[in-house]
Amino acid sequence: MNCGVMNVISYEPLFATMKEKGISSYRLEKLGFPRSNYYAIRKGKSISTNTINHLCQILHCEVSDVIEFVETELEKKEKEK
C-alpha cells in the first residue's frame, strides 16, 4: 500500500442497522452506549474495537452491521495498474 493512499471506514451500516431495528441514538444511550461515542461516529471519527464490540452487543449484530471498509478512488486506481 502506498503512503499517500487513505483507507476509509464507513459507519453507514450502523445507521442502517439502527433504523432496521428501530433503535434511536437516545435508546442507545439508555442501553449504556456513551453519547460521546455516538457523536464521534456521527462525525466520522475513529472509534476503538471495544466501542464496536459494545455496539454489536447492544444491537445483537455482526461487525459488518456496524462498519465497512470503503476503498478510495486513488486506491482503486493503484490496484488497476
Task: List the chain domain ranges.
Answer: 8-80
Reply yes or no on domain 8-80 having CATH 3.90.1570.
Answer: no
Average pLDDT over the chain, rounded to an integer: 88
pTM check: above 0.85: no
Phi, psi for residue 69 in degrees, rounded to 5: -90, 130
Residue-wise pLDDT tens digits, 45-79: 999 999 999 999 999 999 999 999 988 766 666 66
Q: Is the pLDDT of residue 81 over 70?
A: no
Q: Please name the residue ranges forming H helices in 1-81.
A: 12-21, 25-30, 35-42, 49-59, 73-80
pLDDT value at 33 more than 70? yes
- Residue 71: per-residue pLDDT: 81
pLDDT at 1 over 70: no
